Each structure stands twice: as structure tokens, then as C-alpha cells.
Chains A and B, each alone.
Chain A
Amino acid sequence: MEKRVTFGRWTIGILFAVPQLLLIFTFFYWPAGQAVYWSLTLQQPWGGGNIWVGLDNFRSILANADYWNSITASMIFAGISTGLAMVIALVLAALTDRQLAGSWLYRVVLIWPYGIAAPALALAFRFILAPEAGFMAVVNRVWPGFWDPGLDGADAMASIIIAFSWKYVGYNFIFFLAAFQAIPRSLIEAAAMDGSGVLRRFWDIQFPLITPTIFFLLVINITESFQDSFGIVDIMTAGGPANATNLMVYKIYSDGFKGLDYSGAAAQSIILMLLIVALTIVQFRFIERRVHYR
């Protein structure tokens, strides 16, 4: 879409874009380029600049069992938490959309979790799920040793999944509810007149009409599970126990800033960037074209 009426003095026009261009050049394109450069070179320990090593950094990263462990952990985390957060939010939004008495309350309250900082809710859940105090301790009284995120990798993974899903149920709820409310009431009413029940109407009318939202949220949830998980991991498990929750962004952070391995961290960043770019392209190219019911 283009404007028919524009202003003639285009030199002024460019000036308006300059602040943003300067910002994205300095803080986006330069660092992104830098990451590529670092991933292809190795910093010499005694100084004297970087030496070109080609794809060696990528080779050593991809040959590293820790890195594959981190990828697996990220995938498990992304898969389960996205699934949980989306299914719960979809059910709650569909039911809120039925607009029974009191539904305004759910519309207000169910979005609260998304406002909370990931580290703050992580600390809250760390207490709630603590094995010796809080609420899982009750379960541990009955079955001693049942739950210990500090020692058991699966328990630690479950903890960060619960914390992350709790936040993103709120987020998904907002979008699902908006999508449901955008469906014309007359459509639902006409179907009801024709004798279709609530479930039938959901599967044959509402669900197909919100598929664009579902795919959109799928991509956003997965990308967010790569980024927004950092605070949760750092507060709840610090990547442990035994690297069971060492997700990709957390590993980049600990390799780059704790291990001071810039080249390795840069190579990991590039791989993560490619992954996210691929997801975004899937969203724009594939999904936006295939899913069109309106």
C-alpha cells in the first residue's frame, strides 16, 4: 500500500529516518556482523588480533556433546512448554468467549501472568516447587525423594517448563480471545440455528477461523522459549543439575561471559540466529500463504 499524497522535499524525509538507522546500524547490524566475524576466527590468547579459522569453530561446536545436549534440552523445553501454554490458553479463551456471567473477571485476571518479569516469577516458582519448603515438600513427605530439582534433571526441566508456561498462558490467552472475538457472532448463531452443537461449532467454525492465530502463536512461543527462558533458568536452576537445563541462550551466555570463549559463543549465536530466521521465514512464507480462510 502506498500513499498517493506525499511530501516533496525528500532530503528532509531521510532525516526523519536517520535516528533509527544509526541505532540499528550500531546496535544491530554491526554486532550481527561481528558475530559472523568472530565465529569464523579465533582470538589469539596473547593478543595480536584474530586468526582466520574458517568453519573450525562450528565444527568443534557441533562435535561437542555438551552442545547437542543443550540443543536437545532447548527442544524439549520449547516443545512441552509451547504445547502446554497454547492448549491451556486455547481452552480458557474458548470458554471465556462463551460470555457467561462473570467472564469479564477471567478476561481481566488471566492476562496478569504475562506482565510479570520472568526472573520474578521464577523466584516465586522456585519457592513453590522447592523440595524442602513450599508445596512440593508435602509430596516429598509422602513419597520421600519424589521431587528434587536440585539433583534430578527431569525435575529441574519440569520446574522451568511450569514457570515458563504459566507466563505464556497469559500471553496466548490475549491473542486467542481476540481471535475468537473477531469471529462474527452471526456465523455462530446461524450454525446454531442449523442445529449444530457447541463442540461441532468449535471444530467446524471457530477452530478453522483461528488457525492463523494458532500458527502465529506457535512460532512466537517457540522463539520466546529460546529467549525469555534465560531469566527463568538463571534464577531457578543455573543450567543444572549436570547441564540438564543448560538451554541454548544460557549456554551462549555462560560460554561467552563466564568461559570467555567469544568465538565459540559467536558460532552458537549464529546457529541460533539461523534457527530463528528459519522459523520466521516459515511463518511469513509458508504459513501466511497456506492458512487463509478469510
Chain B
Amino acid sequence: MVERTPILNFFTHLILFAGFVFCVAPFVIVAIAASHNLKDVNDVPMSLLPGSDFWVNIKTAWVTADLGPKLLNSFIMAFGVAAGKVIVSALTAFSIVYFRYPGRTLIFWLIFITLMLPLEVRIVPTYAVVANVLEPYQTIMDLTGLSWLIEKISGVRVQLSLGLLNSYSGLILPLVATATGTFLYRQFFLTVPDELTEAARMDGAGALRFFVDILLPLSRNNMGALGTIMFLWAWNQYLWPLLITTDQSHAMAVTELKQLIPNVGGAPEWHIAMAGTLIVMLPPLIVVLLMQRWFVRGLIATEK
């Protein structure tokens, strides 16, 4: 604060408090609605005093939407995406920054372009690829005459086929295939002093040694930030899991929410729906609360 401005301070507090209410009210309403019974939740206006059925509703929502296994699936997928990003991006950034080879600039731009087109806009063809991940390679072999050649020589007809629908790899790999983390690492690697590399080489460390023993420990903060952001991002994915997991045993918690929307004509079971919403909201909220520093840092660093 630079000068005394009592009136302005009063309005500052007033507006900020309104913003606070605006942000928190939906959470509070969801929690309160989740504690009512069928009759109370449909009262107009709904009572803002918590009811007594909270745990009953949580349990009903948990059973109806089968949230136990679904939450586990969400965790596996979110961890998979976060770990995949943290590892793959570090490797790529190391390659781009610490080596000189022909085509390096091309690789840089090939990766950079992936930032532009999110999965949502190329959803239909990506789905087709995941239905058979080897299809691109099969097509290339067919077009180049390679499969014809192999058939002539060995008599074996090449039919590559590997479906990833309803599998964790099908869920995770396409989400890892963007450049988000690569540039975060690149920016950081560029700030690592050259003297460090020189010293390491002087002591006889090769590329791999330098990467594992020096560069990775130095990038711990980046890894934390990137991991947190990617975990949340993957947890919150909706369209992709909706398409890929037709089989119930692989469904995600977020996609299961649809089961809880009260049907037109059925009993308006909003208390169950809100209990389910609360369960699905909670894990990312906890991550944001506990990892706030890394969350903010990661968000700003990955986007800029």
C-alpha cells in the first residue's frame, strides 16, 4: 500500500469479498445440497442449513455411479499422463538443447506445431488411429511397396493391428503427444550454465550421465510444476475418455457424472447428483490446495 485511501479500501474489500462469494458459493451449495434428502433438496428455496443425510447420499452416489473403480481409473490415467509428460518432454528438450544434428530445427518446429491443435479438434481421426495404432505404419508400408516386398520374399502377408480402445495406453498416449512440457524444459535447460556442462565433461561424464546426474536433479521444480498441471489436466479430461472407454471397467470418474443427471420424468434426485459431483471435485481441489505453489508456477510456465 502506497498511500491512505480509506474509501477505496472499503470498496476493495467489498468487491473482493463479492468475488470470494462468487468463487466459493457453488462449492458450498453443492456440499449443502448433498446433505439434504429428496424432499428438502427440491424445496424452493432450498434451505441453506445442512441436512442430515450427507453420508447416506455420498454412499448412494458412490454405489450408483460405481465411483470406487472409476476414481482408481482416473488416478491411473492422470498419473500416467503426468509421468509420461514429465519424462518424454525432458528427454526431448535435452535432445534439442544439448545436441547439434541435422534436422534439429525441423524437429523443433514439428513439436512446436502440436501446441496449436488440441485433441478436441482432431478427435475423430485420432479415435480411428487409437482403434488400430499400427494403421499409419501399415499404410506407409503398403504405399511404399514394402509389404508387397515382404510378401514376395517371405510369403507372409503383413497385417499390423493393435487396438487400444478400452485400454490405459489408448487413454494416456494421445494425451502425452503434445509439446506442452517440452518448451518448459527447454527454457530451463537454456538457463543452466555452460560451465556446468564443461565441468561434467572434463570429469568424463557422457551425455546420459550428465542428463541423469546433473540436469534432472536441477529440474526438480519444473518436474513438480509440470506434473501438477498435467495431473489436473488429465483428471479433468472428458471428451477423450468418453469416446475411448466404451467398456464400463475402464470408465473415468468424470465421465460417470452423466449417470447421475436426474432423468426427465424420474425423481429429481439432485441430492445424489450433488454428492457425486462433490466426490469428483474433491481430488483436483485437494491437489490445488496442497500444491498451490507448483500449480501456479506450472500454469504460468507451461503457457508462456
Chains A and B bind each other: yes
Chain A residues within 8 Å of B, Cβ to Cβ: 1, 3-7, 9-17, 19-21, 23-32, 34-35, 38, 88, 91-92, 95-96, 98-100, 102-103, 105-106, 108-121, 123-128, 130, 132-135, 137-138, 141, 166, 169-171, 174-175, 178, 188-189, 192, 198, 216, 220, 223, 226-227, 230-231, 234-235, 249, 252-253, 256-257, 262, 265-266, 269, 272-273, 276-277, 280
Which residue, A5, A15, A114, A135, has most C-beta atoms of chain B within 10 A?
A5
B99 lies within 8 A of A95 (CB): no
- A112 contacts which of B89, B96, B276, B285 (Cβ < 8 Å)? B285
State A112–B300 Cα separation when bound (angstroms): 15
Task: Enumerate the 7 nearest inter-chain pairs by beta-carbon distance, A residue then B residue, closest first.
Answer: A13-B99, A10-B101, A16-B95, A31-B125, A117-B236, A34-B125, A115-B288
For A35, the closest partner residue in chain B by CB is B125
Contact partner of A92 (CB less than 8 A), chosen from B16, B281, B300, is B16
Q: How many A-B residue pairs have CB under 8 A?
A: 310
Closest B residue by C-beta to A189: B2
Determine whether the beta carbon of B117 is less than 8 Å from that of A230.
no
With contacts A24-B111, A100-B1 taken as known, whether A116 is within 8 angstroms of B285 at the C-beta atoms is yes
Question: For A17, A98, A106, which residue has the most chain B Cβ atoms within 10 angstroms?
Answer: A17
Q: Which of B68-97 contact A (CB under 8 A)?
A: 88-89, 91-92, 94-97
* Inter-chain contact A178/B300, CB cutoff 8 Å: yes
* Given A100-B12, A111-B296, A133-B42, 6 further pairs, Cβ under 8 A: A24-B114, A99-B1, A103-B16, A116-B285, A132-B268, A231-B239
Assess whether B35 is interfacial by the CB under 8 Å rule: no
Question: Interface readout for B9-42 with A: 1 if CB under 8 Å, 0 if not?
Answer: 1001101100110111011011001000000011
Contact between B296 and A95, CB atoms less than 8 A apart = no
Partner of B207, one of A13, A34, A119, A171: A13
**B284 interface residue, CB < 8 Å from A?**
yes
A3 touches which one: B46, B194, B261 (CB < 8 A)?
B194
Is residue B152 within 8 Å, beta carbon to beta carbon, of the partner chain? Answer: no
- Among the listed B2, B27, B29, B124, which residue makes an inter-chain contact with A252, where contact means beta carbons less than 8 Å apart? B124
23 A-B pairs, CB-CB below 8 angstroms? A13-B100, A14-B101, A24-B111, A24-B114, A27-B130, A27-B177, A31-B122, A112-B27, A114-B288, A120-B277, A123-B257, A124-B26, A127-B33, A127-B274, A133-B268, A137-B44, A166-B22, A169-B19, A192-B3, A234-B238, A249-B120, A249-B239, A269-B125
> Are B20 and A110 in touch, CB under 8 angstroms?
yes
Chain B residues lying within 8 Å of A123, measured Cβ to Cβ, are 257, 260-261, 273-274, 276-277
Asked if B20 and A26 sit within 8 Å, CB to CB, the answer is no
Query: Is the pair A266, B124 in contact by a Cβ cutoff of 8 Å?
Result: yes
What is the interface of chain A mostly: helix, strand, loop, or mixed? helix
Residue of chain A at shortest CB distance from B199: A5
Q: Which of A91, A106, A121, A269 contacts B124 (CB 8 A)?
A: A269
Name which residue of chain B comes closest to A248, CB basis.
Answer: B121
- Chain B residues within 8 Å of A, Cβ to Cβ: 1-3, 5, 8-9, 12-13, 15-16, 19-20, 22-24, 26-27, 29-30, 33, 41-46, 88-89, 91-92, 94-101, 107, 110-111, 114-118, 120-130, 133, 136, 173-174, 176-179, 182, 190, 194, 197-198, 201, 206-208, 210-211, 232, 235-236, 238-239, 242-243, 254-255, 257-258, 260-261, 268, 270, 273-274, 276-277, 280-281, 284-285, 287-288, 292, 295-296, 299-300, 303-304
Which of these, B12, B254, B303, contacts A95 with CB under 8 Å?
A: B12
* B interface majority secondary structure: helix
Whether A280 pairs with B116 at a CB distance below 8 angstroms is yes
The residues of B that contact A16 with a CB separation of less than 8 Å are 91-92, 94-95, 99, 211
Taking the closest CB of chain B, its distance from the CB of A220, in whole angstroms, is 7
List the B side residues contacting A216 at CB < 8 Å. 303-304
Residues of B within 8 A of A253 (CB): 123, 239
In the bound assembly, the distance between CA atoms of A256 and B15 in angstroms comes to: 45
Give chain A residues whose Cβ lies under 8 Å from the Cβ of B235. 117
Q: Which residue of B lies closest to A103 (CB)?
A: B16
Q: Are A170 and B117 in contact (CB under 8 A)?
A: no
Q: Given A92-B16, A95-B15, A230-B239, is A35 in contact with B124 using a C-beta cutoff of 8 Å?
A: yes
A106, B13: Cα distance in complex, Å: 10
Report yes or no: A110 in contact with B44, Cβ–Cβ below 8 A: no
- Write the nearest CB–CB distance from A152 to chain B, whole angstroms: 16
Given contacts A10-B100, A112-B285, A262-B124, contact A231 B238 (CB under 8 A): yes
* A133 CB → nearest B CB, Å: 5
Q: Given A16-B94, A127-B273, A231-B238, are A113 and B23 neighbors across the interface (CB < 8 Å)?
A: yes
Tell me if A109 and B124 are in contact (CB < 8 A): no
Is the Cβ of A109 less than 8 Å from the Cβ of B98? Answer: no
Check if A133 sits within 8 Å of B91, measured CB to CB.
Answer: no
Which residues of chain A are within 8 angstroms of B296 by Cβ–Cβ distance? Answer: 111, 174, 178
Residues of A within 8 A of B13 (CB): 100, 102
Given contacts A16-B95, A17-B96, contact A273 B173 (CB under 8 A): no
Given the complex of chains A and B, what is the CA–CA distance between A286 and B27 in angstroms?
40
Provide the bound-state CA to CA distance between A102 and B12, in Å.
Answer: 11
Contact of B45 among A114, A138, A174, A178 (CB under 8 A): A138
